[in-house]
């Protein structure tokens, strides 16, 4: 009986502790610069008893859309956190003093959601300035407040407290003080900004054009429109979508018009689909060399449907798992944003781990395909026409596999946010596209020969090795 009573007491204590933690988590967090019984005296945290003030700082809340003379906001349940903010490397610390008796200085307002709003005031009367600017004599005070320049700072980017400024003549001034983390203004002449905002978009455009050329070549030329060509075309389209979504993420200052959550999801999911198409190509080549009875092009349409079902089914299933993990299990969701626009959520590490682990799994499986196919080729004594042609497809698969694996590893390292790794990924990204273009088009005599015959831009006295029978006849001008 005593053990049962003890167990019930422990259960009640744990439930009470969990309820208390949940209640604290639901409270609005407010950052106070000094400790609970301290205020700022001439810029230094000083115990309240050593100053002329009798009460510590207490936040006075306002609604986000409030204005002078509006109804006071309901005070939320809040929790004071003590200490100064740790500004990021691209932010500057600034001190702001707000005097309630002086309307010509900047204004600090604590919003009911825990954000600190900083109104930047001019020396002119705001109401007269707004009337002159917008041409409205009937402009209301709330309209002026809404049009005034202001910036909102979330918890972690500010701290605020009561400040006492003591003069030599024993006269003191009481103000509201805030230390805020202000993002540094971007300078286009800055090397980092030029690389990330000018060179990187240009490289993305080059990569998209390269992938598009490969897709067009393998889709337009009828001799290349077999199963391998269709897989290559599908893979290139996925990489084009990946580059487009990645290009959107570069310009974060246009956040009001961009959903970074959607852009990141499209970018990573399309990259996952591209690796699944590469995996399908590796399986097809491996299975062709493994099988004894091989019939080329006879069931390409049916096989392509089967591979498409595998690729898109796997991609959708893994993407759904990643999205579910992000919205239900993610505890630390990364935020993209600043004071110029509302902050937005992006894909968290839990969702990324699901997607990138799947990509790593396909890379390992492709490596197994490569090793087993090489061993099979070493044991083969005779080659048929189909196996002879598949040797070129196998060579192309190995090269694309190597290039895309290095590009994926570069993307993974760039997420560490070190400038050197980010710059390396920018270069690797465009090199990957150019290498894929060379591997699939300009590095294959068969493809360049077909392009020359189609576009009439090359001579026809090339070596016919590795061509199909009809292409060999065309090469000796007997196929017209």
State the Cα–Cα distance between residues 126 and 106, nearest whole angstrom: 12
Cβ(429)–Cβ(204) below 8 Å: yes
Predicted confidence at residue 249, as pLDDT, reads: 82
Cβ(29)–Cβ(81) below 8 Å: yes
In this structure, what token pair is assigned to residue 205? 């455009």
pLDDT-derived band at 210 (thresholds 50, 70, 90) equals very high
pLDDT-derived band at 138 (thresholds 50, 70, 90) equals very low
Burial status of residue 17 (CB atoms within 10 A of its CB: 0-12, 13-18, 19 or more): exposed
Pairing of strands 335-336, 107-111: unpaired
The more confidently predicted of residues 117 and 295 is 117
Whether the pLDDT of residue 473 is over 70: the answer is no
The residue-averaged pLDDT of 456-476 equals 50
pLDDT-derived band at 18 (thresholds 50, 70, 90) equals low
Global confidence as pTM: 0.65
CA angle 30, 31, 36 (to 5 degrees): 100
The residue-averaged pLDDT of 307-314 equals 95
Q: Using one digit for the tens of pLDDT, what is the confidence trace for 95-124? A: 888 887 665 577 888 888 888 888 876 544
CA angle 19, 25, 31 (to 5 degrees): 140
The more confidently predicted of residues 73 and 81 is 81
Whether the pLDDT of residue 478 is over 50: the answer is no
Helix (H) or strand (E) holding 421: helix 419-437
State the Cα–Cα distance between residues 184 and 187, nearest whole angstrom: 9
3-state secondary structure of 142: helix
Whether the pLDDT of residue 20 is over 80: the answer is no
Cβ(474)–Cβ(456) below 8 Å: no
Q: Using one digit for the tens of pLDDT, what is the confidence trace for 364-418? A: 999 999 999 888 888 776 665 666 677 888 899 999 999 999 999 999 999 888 8
Predicted confidence at residue 283, as pLDDT, reads: 93
HSE-CB at 84 with a 13 A cutoff on CA atoms is: 15
State the Cα–Cα distance between residues 268 and 107, nearest whole angstrom: 43
In this structure, what token pair is assigned to residue 204? 């993305």
State the Cα–Cα distance between residues 333 and 98, nearest whole angstrom: 33
pLDDT-derived band at 234 (thresholds 50, 70, 90) equals very high
The more confidently predicted of residues 383 and 63 is 63
What is the CB neighbour count within 10 angstroms for residue 158? 26
State the Cα–Cα distance between residues 235 and 218, nearest whole angstrom: 11
Q: What percent of the chain stands above pLDDT 70?
A: 71
Q: Give the torsion through C-alpha atoms of 173, 175, 181, 187, to 10 deg.
A: -70
What is the CB neighbour count within 10 angstroms for residue 237? 19
Give the residue ranges of DSSP H helices in 187-336: 191-194, 200-220, 227-250, 260-290, 300-328
- What the chain holds in terms of domains, given with CATH numbers, is 28-183 (2.170.180), 191-443 (1.20.1070.10)
3-state secondary structure of 3: helix
43: alpha, beta or left? (left if phi > 0; alpha if psi -120 to 50) = left
CA angle 225, 368, 212 (to 5 degrees): 30
pLDDT-derived band at 252 (thresholds 50, 70, 90) equals low
Sorted by sequence, the CB contacts under 8 Å of residue 56 that are 6+ apart come out as 36, 37, 38, 39, 48, 162
Q: What is the largest CA-CA distance in the chain?
A: 108
Cβ(440)–Cβ(396) below 8 Å: yes
CA terminus-to-terminus distance, the chain: 100
State the Cα–Cα distance between residues 29 and 114, nearest whole angstrom: 6
CA 259 distance to own-chain centroid: 10
State the Cα–Cα distance between residues 262 and 243, nearest whole angstrom: 14
Predicted confidence at residue 232, as pLDDT, reads: 94
Predicted confidence at residue 111, as pLDDT, reads: 87
State the Cα–Cα distance between residues 317 and 66, nearest whole angstrom: 46
Q: Using one digit for the tens of pLDDT, what is the confidence trace for 188-206? A: 667 888 888 889 999 999 9
State the Cα–Cα distance between residues 80 and 30, nearest whole angstrom: 5
State the Cα–Cα distance between residues 174 and 195, nearest whole angstrom: 47
CA angle 293, 294, 297 (to 5 degrees): 150
In this structure, what token pair is assigned to residue 290? 């493994």
Rg (CA), the chain: 32
């Amino acid at each position: 009986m005593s053990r049962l009573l003890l167990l019930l007491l422990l259960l009640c204590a744990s439930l009470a502790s969990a309820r208390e933690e949940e209640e604290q988590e639901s409270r609005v967090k407010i950052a106070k610069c000094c400790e609970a019984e301290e205020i700022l005296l001439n810029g230094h945290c000083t115990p309240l008893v050593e100053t002329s003030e009798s009460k510590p700082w207490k936040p006075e809340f306002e609604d986000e859309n409030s204005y002078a003379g509006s109804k006071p906001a309901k005070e939320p349940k809040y929790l004071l956190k003590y200490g100064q903010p740790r500004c990021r490397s691209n932010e500057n610390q600034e001190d702001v003093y707000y005097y309630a008796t002086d309307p010509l200085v900047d204004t600090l307002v604590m919003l009911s959601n825990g954000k600190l709003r900083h109104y930047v005031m001019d020396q002119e009367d705001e109401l007269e300035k707004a009337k002159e600017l917008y041409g409205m004599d009937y402009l209301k005070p709330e309209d002026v407040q809404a049009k005034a320049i202001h910036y909102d700072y979330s918890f972690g980017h500010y701290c605020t407290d009561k400040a006492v400024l003591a003069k030599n003549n024993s006269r003191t001034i009481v103000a509201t003080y805030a230390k805020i983390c202000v993002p540094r203004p971007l300078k286009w002449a800055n090397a980092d900004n030029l690389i990330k905002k000018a060179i990187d978009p240009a490289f993305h455009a080059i990569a998209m054009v390269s992938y598009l050329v490969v897709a067009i070549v393998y889709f337009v030329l009828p001799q290349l429109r077999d199963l391998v060509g269709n897989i290559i075309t599908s893979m290139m389209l996925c990489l084009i979508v990946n580059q487009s979504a990645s290009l959107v993420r570069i310009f974060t200052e246009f956040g009001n018009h961009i959903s970074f959550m959607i852009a990141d999801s499209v970018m990573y999911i399309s990259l996952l689909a591209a690796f699944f198409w590469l995996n399908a190509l590796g399986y097809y080549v491996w299975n062709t060399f493994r099988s004894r009875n091989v019939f080329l092009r006879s069931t390409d349409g049916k096989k392509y449907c089967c591979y498409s079902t595998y690729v898109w089914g796997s991609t959708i299933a893994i993407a759904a798992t990643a999205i579910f993990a992000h919205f239900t299990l993610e505890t630390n969701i990364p935020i993209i944003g600043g004071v110029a626009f509302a902050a937005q959520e992006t894909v968290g590490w839990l969702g990324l781990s699901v997607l990138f682990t799947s990509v790593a799994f396909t890379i390992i499986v492709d490596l197994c395909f490569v090793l087993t196919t090489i061993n099979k080729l070493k044991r083969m004594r005779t080659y048929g026409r189909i196996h002879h042609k598949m040797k070129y497809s196998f060579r192309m698969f190995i090269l694309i596999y190597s290039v895309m694996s290095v590009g994926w590893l570069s993307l993974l390292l760039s997420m560490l946010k070190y400038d050197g790794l980010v710059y390396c990924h920018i270069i690797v990204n465009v090199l990957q596209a150019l290498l894929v273009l060379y591997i699939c088009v300009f590095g294959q005599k068969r493809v360049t020969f077909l392009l020359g015959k189609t576009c009439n831009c090359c001579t026809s006295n090339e070596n016919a090795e590795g061509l199909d029978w009809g292409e060999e006849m065309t090469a000796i001008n007997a196929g017209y």
